[in-house]
Chains A and B, each alone.
Chain A
């Protein structure tokens, strides 16, 4: 007999989801002027969770107007110490309601409850705590005395870490004294709407945070709105380009956090067992829906077979299935559209001659699923080595020398992150200097902390989020205005 884990489902009774949701504008939930709604579903079951408002130009204008009014009349008049009080209050409320938020995130996004509970929510609270601490210390942010807020920030976030991306955007913006209009991704609006409720619970002045839901058109209306001072976008490089083009020639400040195709580089003197864990968390964490995912594994040729054998063995222990089960490691793909994109690129891997391997695993009948997949025999010319798959698909390449590793790692239009695995400290430092990536992890991968800036080189975007640099993206010296 073997040790089979019995189902251990997290209870969903901690959340009550209404049948439909309005837009959060000027401190209240309001019906959309558009009158249009769309459905949000649980990607693990395809069950409809709620109807979400689709904001149009008129709605977006109302939201921006409310944010402008709140900025002029209230938020910019408060001292940093007063703003900090609100942010600390929000952080504590997030902690208090973290179980509810984790369950909701898992239902709407498809990520395993273990990750929502142990990674997303603690980081969300940590971001608010961290930036709350900055609010009354802006004189020390590096811009000289009395740096000023920009005004109204338009923020558009992706579906892979819905609430975490919200915290990366809203916490520094409010700490610096801006007001915001945020648009969550079309498929994952629910936690942002719960966050709106937390703002009310914290007595945040009306209009400081506004949430407009909708798809690409809503996002376009928001970033193109004339009364917006700052745009912060996280998402695809394609959309990022369009936003950059739209913002060109305006006075809007812009930060973009876009795609990635990170190299995770394993040297022959790496701590192999931990490197295997790093490969797994690099590409299979959050179903590979991570812009900084370690999607290209570069293994030194002389340990390739050993590493691959150990990796495959490890992947047989991954547990794919019901995201609400506390023992699930791999949840559902967020949408059928994304599943189609992953399938199309993985099939290109097959047709270009790479060798596919997946552990034996049963995919549930309903919902959107893709098995953990490893491609070996990949070359730099293959599409699966060049394009961002944004799914649980790993491309394995080899190298012989550190110089070849650097060359291959940098040979991509992206430059968001990279990983180095070696027990040799000097090699870590030497490699890190040469890798053109915003984040370089050494002997770990996909670790995040609010104090650590995050952002990309090249087509992975510009600007930094997190840490002091993340604060500067929402501040200006008086002289610039």
Chain B
């Protein structure tokens, strides 16, 4: 299938009067306020001391479960593993009907069909990583074909990677055009743009990449592929949340945020929810606008959920492997 994307800047860029030329983008992105590293990390550390107990914890755990993009992105993935993951996504805790389903199952392009089949009739969405994930090092036509095949196979959401090499070299218009093209190839599928913040290194870069992706039409901005360390961190997520908050104020468009990779415990997940709550507020406390890209996190959420309802901790043999 051949896709001919339109390279005209989408609405929000036009709304802000930002052209898609290299000069325009550079001027705009470099006019954004800087991020003070020490201050951003101190803010996150302070919020990390919030004590979330009892009813607040129960609320946070269920919300976090509903926000999970249950992910498997291994070379060794099999149709059987994806089928099992889908069953778990629909009903995470077989012993407790009240445990909610997760938001989505996230797989590679070739397993989208399997996931679609096993999630039929459920609300759980299928997300596919595309655009030569995880490195993004392929020609635009290959990356677009990767995207359109995933959409054709039934993906509701596309997780694309940006070309970090281009971004770091300052070739912002290349990254912009890539995102615009992939967005066009997505059709009605939601587009999550992975910034791979572990490779961008500085918070200033994270802020600029966030704006670049949003201007180009991202529905979500996502921290990481999970293949690079560090993956998601709280300060990076703070900077991205500030970006979606400011983008909404400037354009009226509301963009989602997805930290992915390295979030393994309920305690971690709750810290992210506190960060969302106190940075952008209630509006983002929904699976439509905030996701966790994770695999092992779900089991810890389920264990903590069981502990809250039964009063005792059951242990890893009481949740399913995958």
Interface residues of chain A, those whose CB is within 8 Å of chain B, are: 1-8, 114, 118, 269-275, 277-278, 317, 326-327, 423, 443-444
Inside 8 A of A326's CB, which chain B residues have their CB?
Answer: 49-51
Asked if A271 contacts B39 (CB within 8 A), the reply is: yes
Inside 8 A of A118's CB, which chain B residues have their CB?
Answer: 49
| A3-B282 CB under 8 A given contacts A274-B40, A277-B43, A443-B38 | yes
Give Cα distance in the complex from A275 to B38, angstroms: 11
The smallest beta-carbon distance between B52 and chain A, in angstroms, is 6
Q: In the complex, which of the residues B38, B49, B56, B63 contacts A4, with contact meaning CB atoms closer than 8 Å?
A: B56
**A7, A274, A327, A423 — which one has the most chain B CB atoms within 10 A of its CB?**
A274
Residue of B nearest to A280 (CB): B43
Give Cα distance in the complex from A271 to B40, angstroms: 10
Inside 8 A of B273's CB, which chain A residues have their CB?
Answer: 3
Asked if A6 contacts B56 (CB within 8 A), the reply is: yes
Q: In the complex, which of the residues B54, B57, B59 contacts A1, with contact meaning CB atoms closer than 8 Å?
A: B59
| A273-B40 CB under 8 A given contacts A2-B282, A3-B282, A423-B34 | yes
- Near A by CB (< 8 A), chain B positions 9-60 give 33-36, 38-40, 42-43, 49-57, 59-60
Asked if A271 contacts B35 (CB within 8 A), the reply is: yes
Residue of A nearest to B43 (CB): A277
Inside 8 A of A6's CB, which chain B residues have their CB?
Answer: 52-57
The smallest beta-carbon distance between A72 and chain B, in angstroms, is 47
Interface residues of chain B, those whose CB is within 8 Å of chain A, are: 33-36, 38-40, 42-43, 49-57, 59-60, 63, 242, 273-274, 277-278, 282, 285
Asked if B285 contacts A271 (CB within 8 A), the reply is: no
Residue of A nearest to B52 (CB): A5
> Given known contacts A3-B63, A273-B43, A327-B50, what 7 new A-B pairs fall within 8 Å (CB)?
A1-B59, A3-B285, A271-B33, A271-B35, A271-B39, A274-B38, A326-B49
Inside 8 A of B53's CB, which chain A residues have their CB?
Answer: 6-8
Residue of A nearest to B55 (CB): A6
Q: In the complex, which of the residues B33, B50, B54, B57 contacts A273, with contact meaning CB atoms closer than 8 Å?
A: B33
| A5-B282 CB under 8 A given contacts A271-B35, A273-B33 | no
The smallest beta-carbon distance between B192 and chain A, in angstroms, is 23
Q: In the complex, which of the residues B39, B54, B55 contacts A278, with contact meaning CB atoms closer than 8 Å?
A: B39
Asked if B40 contacts A3 (CB within 8 A), the reply is: no
Asked if B49 contacts A114 (CB within 8 A), the reply is: yes
Inside 8 A of B277's CB, which chain A residues have their CB?
Answer: 3
Residue of A nearest to B31 (CB): A269
Asked if A3 contacts B36 (CB within 8 A), the reply is: no
Residue of B nearest to A117 (CB): B49
Inside 8 A of B33's CB, which chain A residues have their CB?
Answer: 269-273
A-B contact list, 23 entries, CB within 8 Å: A3-B59, A3-B63, A3-B285, A4-B55, A5-B50, A6-B54, A6-B55, A6-B56, A8-B51, A118-B49, A269-B34, A272-B33, A273-B33, A273-B40, A273-B43, A274-B36, A274-B43, A277-B39, A278-B39, A317-B278, A327-B50, A327-B51, A423-B36
Inside 8 A of B54's CB, which chain A residues have their CB?
Answer: 6
Asked if A444 contacts B38 (CB within 8 A), the reply is: yes
The smallest beta-carbon distance between A359 and chain B, in angstroms, is 13
Asked if B39 contacts A443 (CB within 8 A), the reply is: yes
**B39, B43, B63 — which one has the most chain A CB atoms within 10 A of its CB?**
B39
The smallest beta-carbon distance between A451 and chain B, in angstroms, is 17
The smallest beta-carbon distance between B85 and chain A, in angstroms, is 28
Asked if A274 contacts B60 (CB within 8 A), the reply is: no
Inside 8 A of B39's CB, which chain A residues have their CB?
Answer: 271, 273-275, 277-278, 443-444
Inside 8 A of B55's CB, which chain A residues have their CB?
Answer: 4, 6
Residue of B nearest to A423 (CB): B34
Residue of A nearest to B270 (CB): A3
Inside 8 A of B40's CB, which chain A residues have their CB?
Answer: 273-274
Give Cα distance in the complex from A275 to B39, angstroms: 8
Give Cα distance in the complex from A5 to B53, angstroms: 7
Inside 8 A of B34's CB, which chain A residues have their CB?
Answer: 269, 271, 423
Give Cα distance in the complex from A303 to B115, angstroms: 50
**B34, B49, B52, B242 — which one has the most chain A CB atoms within 10 A of its CB?**
B34
9 closest A-B pairs (Cβ-Cβ)? A274-B39, A8-B51, A326-B51, A271-B36, A274-B36, A6-B56, A272-B33, A423-B34, A6-B54
Inside 8 A of A317's CB, which chain B residues have their CB?
Answer: 278
Asked if B56 contacts A443 (CB within 8 A), the reply is: no
The smallest beta-carbon distance between B27 and chain A, in angstroms, is 15
Inside 8 A of A278's CB, which chain B residues have their CB?
Answer: 39
The smallest beta-carbon distance between A363 and chain B, in angstroms, is 21
Inside 8 A of A272's CB, which chain B residues have their CB?
Answer: 33
Inside 8 A of A2's CB, which chain B residues have their CB?
Answer: 282, 285
The smallest beta-carbon distance between A167 and chain B, in angstroms, is 22
Give Cα distance in the complex from A423 to B37, angstroms: 11
Give Cα distance in the complex from A165 to B276, angstroms: 36
Inside 8 A of B63's CB, which chain A residues have their CB?
Answer: 3
Inside 8 A of A273's CB, which chain B residues have their CB?
Answer: 33, 35, 39-40, 43, 242
The smallest beta-carbon distance between B270 and chain A, in angstroms, is 10
Asked if A443 contacts B52 (CB within 8 A), the reply is: no
The smallest beta-carbon distance between B5 and chain A, in angstroms, is 34
Inside 8 A of B42's CB, which chain A residues have their CB?
Answer: 277, 444
The smallest beta-carbon distance between B140 and chain A, in angstroms, is 34
The smallest beta-carbon distance between B277 and chain A, in angstroms, is 5
**A5, A270, A278, A326 — which one has the most chain B CB atoms within 10 A of its CB?**
A5
Inside 8 A of B49's CB, which chain A residues have their CB?
Answer: 114, 118, 326
Give Cα distance in the complex from A275 to B42, angstroms: 12
Give Cα distance in the complex from A107 to B296, angstroms: 42
Give Cα distance in the complex from A4 to B57, angstroms: 10
Give Cα distance in the complex from A5 to B51, angstroms: 8
Asked if B36 contacts A443 (CB within 8 A), the reply is: yes
Residue of A nearest to B32 (CB): A272
**B33, B52, B278 — which one has the most chain A CB atoms within 10 A of its CB?**
B33
The smallest beta-carbon distance between A1 and chain B, in angstroms, is 7
Give Cα distance in the complex from A118 to B273, angstroms: 22
The smallest beta-carbon distance between A316 and chain B, in angstroms, is 9
Give Cα distance in the complex from A115 to B35, angstroms: 25
The smallest beta-carbon distance between A441 and chain B, in angstroms, is 11
